[in-house]
């Protein structure tokens, strides 16, 4: 399922055979919810809703969501397509050809403005009232709400507690020097310290944001804006120019044998094998898939060690992805009915915990019993969190950033050339004239 380009068309005709293939749920909760929601969801007219989003890791869970809604509104067909690596390019191609999906996705934050002309204001919808304040804060354009989220997130480093203990590492490293020592100990014990996922462009942005946060201090957004306007240079910020690239070099030294061939599914498999100490570029969203492979793995979770200050080693919390509604959709009301049902029905509320196993983006829902969620919540309470700085730039920039970093990993570009290109792409793709 998790390939560079994963396109899953689910429930196109919504026959009973396809429903079985999508993992249809027919439990009492779904049946009760269906009975109680049919009238409020609108009329019985035939409708088709086209949903084109990123995040293929949730394809199965969304398939179940679609199946449950089919019991509520049998005459509504949700045509669902998902991809990841090339999503920004493919979405723009659809928009340029006049084929805007009824539901599409983007990064939250800055990209709320990027796609504003295509996006419906959800402020008066029940789903907006159901959102947590943290999620809503990155979906706003002024007072207007232009997105909803599949999940909240924790970003950081997953590690294997059992391997750390066997290698004599008593605590997760908080400084870069401690990280180097941990890598040496894991390697000496016969384990691979890192699995990196560097085949995925977005892995680099997840790793990078902690270093960007350290460089930006109290005004990370201001620093990002300086890069986008061409005022700032990476070489002037050692947390990026030195620490981030040193971290990438360390991951290459102690990581996958073929880092540019290791994608998300490869990372999942490597970490779940019990032979890898740390998993990079990921967060709460991967735990369920890892446990499917190895239910006995002892997962730990912490931040990225940036430099010699333990204060900079913090996890990141927030909602980085927004689902948007096409304001000119020919199926606008059926689309809104579906999304409102998702965020407010009994089934929808339980879906986040029981099916997707993600941090709910809504107030009246329970969190899943997952280690990354529990440890992330504890760290957030005790240490605080760093800034979700990836939301200050567009995915178009970060896709270019990831591709530049892949060239650095391949050895076809040195650090100075990579920094020069990153600076140029920041101005080109996120500058004030774009």
Residues counted in the chain: 434
For residue 285 the two structure tokens come to 């969203």
Closest CA to 80 of 66, 69, 68, 97: 66
Instruction: Please give the pLDDT value at position 16.
Output: 32
How confident is the model over 148-204, as pLDDT tens digits? 999 999 999 999 999 999 999 999 999 999 999 999 999 999 999 999 999 999 999
Cα–Cα distance list, 282 to 1, 51, 112, 303 (Å) = 17, 25, 23, 11
Tell me what the pLDDT averaged over the chain comes to: 89
Exposure class string for 416-431: b at 16+ Cβ within 10 A, else e: eebbbbbbebbbbbbe
Walk me through the domains of the chain, giving residue ranges and CATH numbers. Answer: 16-152+320-362 (3.40.190.10), 153-318+373-430 (3.40.190.10)
> Is the whole model's pTM more than 0.85, yes or no?
no
Instruction: Please give the pLDDT value at position 43.
Output: 54
356 phi and psi angles, rounded to 5 deg? -75, -25
Share of the chain above pLDDT 90, in %: 82
CA 265 to chain centre: 15
Query: What stretches of 211-302 adopt beta strand conformation (E)?
Result: 276-283, 299-302
């Amino acid at each position: 399922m998790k390939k560079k380009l994963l396109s899953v068309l689910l429930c196109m005709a919504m026959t009973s055979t396809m429903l079985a293939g999508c993992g249809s749920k027919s439990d009492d909760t779904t049946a009760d919810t269906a009975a109680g929601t049919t009238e409020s969801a609108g009329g019985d007219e035939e409708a088709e809703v086209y949903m084109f989003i990123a995040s293929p890791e949730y394809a199965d869970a969304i398939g179940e969501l679609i199946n449950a809604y089919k019991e509520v509104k049998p005459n509504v067909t949700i045509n669902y397509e998902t991809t990841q690596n090339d999503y920004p390019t493919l979405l723009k191609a659809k928009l340029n050809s006049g084929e805007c999906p009824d539901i599409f996705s983007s990064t939250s934050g800055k990209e709320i403005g990027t796609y504003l002309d295509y996006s419906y204001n959800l402020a008066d919808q029940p789903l907006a009232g159901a959102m947590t304040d943290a999620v809503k804060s990155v979906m706003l354009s002024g007072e207007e709400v232009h997105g909803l989220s599949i999940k909240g997130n924790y970003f950081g480093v997953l590690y294997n507690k059992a391997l750390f203990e066997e290698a004599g590492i008593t605590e997760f490293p908080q400084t870069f020097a401690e990280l180097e020592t941990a890598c040496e100990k894991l390697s000496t014990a016969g384990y691979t310290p890192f699995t990196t996922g560097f085949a995925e462009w977005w892995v680099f942005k997840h790793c990078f944001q902690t270093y960007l946060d350290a460089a930006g201090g109290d005004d990370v957004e201001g620093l990002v804006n300086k890069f986008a306007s061409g005022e700032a240079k990476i070489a002037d910020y050692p947390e990026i120019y030195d620490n981030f690239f040193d971290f990438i070099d360390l991951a290459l030294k102690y990581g996958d044998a073929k880092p540019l061939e290791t994608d998300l599914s490869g990372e999942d498999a490597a970490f779940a094998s019990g032979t890898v100490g740390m998993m990079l570029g990921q967060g709460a969203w991967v735990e369920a898939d890892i446990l499917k492979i190895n239910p006995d793995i002892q997962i730990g979770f912490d931040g990225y060690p940036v430099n010699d200050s333990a204060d900079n080693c913090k996890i990141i919390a927030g909602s980085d992805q927004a689902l948007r509604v096409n304001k000119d959709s020919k199926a606008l009301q059926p689309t809104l009915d579906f999304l409102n049902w998702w965020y407010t029905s009994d089934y929808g509320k339980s879906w986040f915990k029981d099916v997707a196993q993600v941090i709910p983006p809504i107030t009246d829902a329970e969190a899943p019993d997952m280690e990354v969620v529990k440890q992330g919540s504890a760290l957030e309470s005790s240490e605080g969190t760093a800034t979700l700085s990836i939301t200050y730039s567009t995915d178009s920039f970060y896709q270019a950033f990831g591709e530049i970093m892949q060239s650095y990993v391949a050895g076809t570009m040195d650090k100075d050339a990579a920094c020069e290109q990153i600076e140029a792409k920041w101005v080109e793709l996120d500058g004030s004239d774009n």
